[in-house]
Each structure stands twice: as structure tokens, then as C-alpha cells.
Amino acid sequence: MKIALLAICFYRHDEIEASLTNILDNILPETNINLGLLEIQTPNSEKIQYMLKNLKTLKNINKHIFTFSINSVSSAILTATFKTNILDDCDYVAVTETDIRLLTKGTIEECCKNLDDNIICMSPEYDISSDFHKKMYKQWIRKRMPYNEINITSAQGFQLLVFKKNIWIEYCNNIITKNLTINDVLLSIWIQQYNKYIGISKNYKMIHTGWDVYDTPSSDQDYLNYKNALIKNNDLWKPLNMIGNEFINFTILD
């Protein structure tokens, strides 16, 4: 099994390092990974780039660092998909916002195994052991329904989503040709128009550490302030003057 793992690296250098370390530690040794680290331009870019260069990986993980000069997460994902070789020889594509912790080794591989004609993509379930995460789950997470050995839903965030490569390419082409932006809302619409679903693992879970920035006190007040400013100006996953389906310039870091 060979998987392209696209990891969004945005602002939170300490959190990204902890999340990536956890994700890579939970990859099975027989799984080959093309790791695409997508460093998005923020005030913390220098710290993130330094950390990514020094991130330790095993021999079954091929690390590639791409740094983008524009704060456009959607365009960075599309550019990495079509303008680099990160997907070469891969069977699956996983995308993560790098604000999670996986709880079980082989989680991404298990997601790959559960993909079928009705399941466009797979995600681990959220762990809600903490009271605050349980509150966030009830507030934000779309209802699950039983389906064979997993659950299904109509919408899920990009904390960790796993696709068959051909389906991921189809989705990205849809974004480009219809002048859309990669985000969870439009992914949900695209899936539902074909009467398909997002699969949710029952037994493999993740802790969504991104929720903790909204707790009181916040786990990262600087990031929350930065994110809220972007939201206010409609600049979060793309600048206001961009659609989010454009290819953008990038540099490959050694």
C-alpha cells in the first residue's frame, strides 16, 4: 500500500510538529508514504520551515516540503496534487490539517480498506473522552448512520480524510472546472449530489486538538487571534481576491 499524505502546515509550528510526529508514528512499517508538507505563508513560516526540515521520518516515508508564497490553503492543495509528483505511484490520498492525534497504529491504512463505491472518503471518529470535546462534538459534528462495519455521514472536516487517488483527482478537477474552493462544505455538496457518503470508522479514533483553541483558556490564543482576523476578512483558506482553484507558485525545500 502506498499513500500520498498531504499535510497542511499553517501557523501553529509546535502543534504541527506534535501532530505530524503522532501521525507518522502510527503508520504501519509496511506502508509506503509520500509525505507532502504544504507550508502556507504566515508570520510563523520561518519557524515552520525550520521544524519541517528537521522532522524525523523513517525509511518508508518519503518527505517533501513545499512552501507557498500565498496564504491559500485550497490552491496549495490543488497545486501539490497536479503540479508535483507527490501522488506518483500512490493508490490513496490522505489530507490532514495537522491538528489531530491518532490513537491507534494503522488508522490511515484502516481508512483505505473501508473505501468502496458508496464511500467517497473515510475518516477516523472523533475521540470525545474530555467534556469539552464532547461539547464540541455535539455542537459541530454531523449525524452518523450505520453502514456495514462503519458509520456514514454527509459532512466531515479535513482533520483527516482519506480518498482513493482516482476519486481525489476527480474531486480536485471538479473544484477547478467549476471555479470552487476546497473546503468541507463544498465537499459535502459534491458527495451528496451522487448519493454517496463519507465513511467514519467506529473503532479507530482521533483527538481533534484544533478544538482546544476554542476552550477557555485557549490552548493557543495567538493562533486564535490570527484565525479570527482571517475569518473576519474572509481570508481563511484563500485570500478574498482569489477563488481558491488557482495554481500558485511554490518552492521545494531541501
Q: How many domains does the chain have?
A: 1
Q: Any idea what the CATH number is for the domain that residue 63 is in?
A: 3.90.550.10
Cα separation, 72 vs 54, whole angstroms: 24
Q: Which residues of the chain have pLDDT under 50?
A: none
Pairing of β 32-40 and β 61-68? parallel
Q: Domain residues for 138?
A: 2-253
Q: Which residue is associated with the grid cell 463519507?
A: 198
Instruction: Write down the pLDDT at residue 235.
Output: 78
Q: Which are the contacts of 177, defined by CB distance < 8 A and separation ≥ 6?
A: none
Q: What is the pLDDT of residue 241?
A: 86
Q: Which residues, listed in sequence order, are joined to residue 35 by a DSSP beta bridge?
A: 5, 63
DSSP for 86-134, please give it.
TTTT-SEEEEE-S-EEE-STTHHHHHHHT--TTEEEEEEEEP--SHHHH
Predicted local confidence at residue 232, as pLDDT: 87
For position 69, what pLDDT does the model report?
Answer: 87
Question: How many residues belong to the chain?
Answer: 254
